[in-house]
Chain A
Amino acid sequence: MLWIAQRASAAVLALCVAVHLATVIYAVQGGLSAAEILARTRGNAAGFAFYSLFVLAVTVHAPIGLRSVLIEWLGWRGRSRDLFLLIFAAALAWMGMRAAVGVFA
């Protein structure tokens, strides 16, 4: 199940990262300032939905990968590791959504 979640989130991330990078490159072409960018993004529901999906995909994908690293490099198993990963996932979700709300809300 974790494998399916990781593959599915990877597919979403491939799209999200491509769209994100393309948008960033496009946005800086005209030399927009931060304030000008924020003026264009604030209140954009589609942008907020897109970046919420991006954050969700990261929140699913990163802890599953980190789980393998913790098993193979540190031999960390059991409930304490899963609790750590839950906290890690929650931190990613919180930081990501904080940024999305800051730019689009």
Chain B
Amino acid sequence: MKVSVWKGGAEGRFRQFEVPRQASQTVLDVVTYIQRSLDPTLAYRYACRVGMCGSCAMTVNGVPRWTCRTHVDRVLDKDSLSIGPLKNLPVIRDLVTDMREFFDKWARAQGQFKGNRSKRDDFQAVKPASAERMQVDAAIECIGCGVCYSACDVVAWNPDYLGPAALNRAWTLIRDERDRNAVARLRAVAGDAGCHSCHTHMSCTERCPKQLSPTAGIAGLKREVAKSILRGEF
């Protein structure tokens, strides 16, 4: 198959390679083959190879995907494949992007858990069947791959926008009954850089490799902010 791979930084170009097809071949296998056999200078990132670590996301034929779990069969377009770095993130080199801004936004969205118990206290039991816990369950499996951030139109238009992953993280904490930082977190995620900029295009939900719905979480944040304002906490 013909594979074009981005080479260079923000300025660069696609370079063409010929890669043999294999059974059950993943896009990550293709990139690894190119680096090991055709171009040892190719820079890319991966770790677990099994869809857990979230480090191998790239743009495959124009769509952000986790490459380790994307079979070539599913994405091959007339025997050709185009592989580039994730969009909406600065390119360091080739297929490697700078994820700092992406994760800094998690911190800006107050993505840290803040409880009020010490190690001397007993565990706080959370009922698995409670509505809040089930909402957390639906959103908690994020692996931080950046696919949603790369797919998001609002991030492209408004670089300050916190993005789906950071807002999804904030949502899981807002629904966590042990957390004590709700009002400050709602303040952090409200406004033009936060949940209120979401247009509900649902590209994040469409592309999330873990089938999460950041869109639902962002809608939940909008509702919680509104309730908080009406309660006079804001």
Query: A residues bordering B, Cβ < 8 Å?
Result: 1-4, 7, 68, 71-73
A68-B197, A71-B192 known; A3 vs B157 contact (CB < 8 Å): no
| CB contacts between A and B, total, < 8 Å | 17
Is B207 in the interface zone, CB < 8 Å from A? Answer: no
Query: In the bound complex, do residue B158 and residue A4 qualify as a contact, i.e. CB atoms below 8 Å apart?
Result: no
Chain A: minimal CB distance from B201 (Å): 12
Q: Assess the A71–B158 pair: CB atoms within 8 A.
A: yes
A2–B192 Cα distance when bound, in Å, is 10
B199: nearest chain-A partner, CB-CB: A68
User: From residue A43, how far is it (CB to closest CB) to chain B in Å?
Assistant: 39
B1 at interface, CB cutoff 8 A:
no
Does the CB pair A3–B154 fall under 8 Å?
no
A selection of 13 A-B contacts at a CB cut-off of 8 Å is: A2-B196, A3-B196, A3-B222, A3-B225, A3-B226, A4-B229, A7-B226, A68-B197, A71-B158, A71-B192, A72-B154, A72-B158, A73-B157
What CA separation (Å) do A72 and B157 show in the bound complex?
5
Q: Quote the shortest CB–CB distance from B91 to chain A (angstroms).
A: 22
User: What residues on B are CB-neighbors of A4 within 8 Å?
Assistant: 226, 229
A68 to B161 Cα, complex, angstroms: 12
Cα–Cα, bound, A71→B154 (Å): 11
> Which B residue's beta carbon lies closest to that of A67?
B192
How far is A68 from B197 in the complex, measured between Cα atoms in Å?
A: 8
Q: Which residues of A contact B192 (CB under 8 A)?
A: 71
Task: Tell me how far the C-beta of A103 lies from the nearest C-beta in chain B, rounded to whole angstroms.
Answer: 35
CB distance from A52 to the nearest CB of B (A): 26
The residue of chain A having its C-beta at the shortest distance from the C-beta of B234 within the complex is A1
CB-CB nearest in chain A for B230: A4
Query: Can you list, as one digit per residue, whether each of B186-213 has a CB less than 8 Å from chain A (1) or not (0)?
Result: 0000001000110000000000000000
**Complex: how many Å from CA A96 to CA B196?**
28
B205 to chain A, nearest CB (A): 20
Residues in chain B near residue A71, CB distance under 8 A:
157-158, 192
Q: Which residue of B lies closest to A73 (CB)?
A: B157
Chain A residues with Cβ under 8 A from B226's Cβ? 3-4, 7
Known: A4-B229, A72-B154. 8 other contacts (CB 8 A): A1-B229, A2-B196, A3-B196, A4-B226, A71-B157, A71-B192, A72-B158, A73-B157
Interface residues of B in 141-173 (CB under 8 A from A): 154, 157-158
Binary A-proximity of B55-73 (CB < 8 A = 1, otherwise 0): 0000000000000000000
Chain B hits for A68, CB < 8 A: 197
* Residue of A with least CB distance to B190: A3
Q: Can you name the residue of chain B whose Cβ is closest to the Cβ of A4?
A: B226
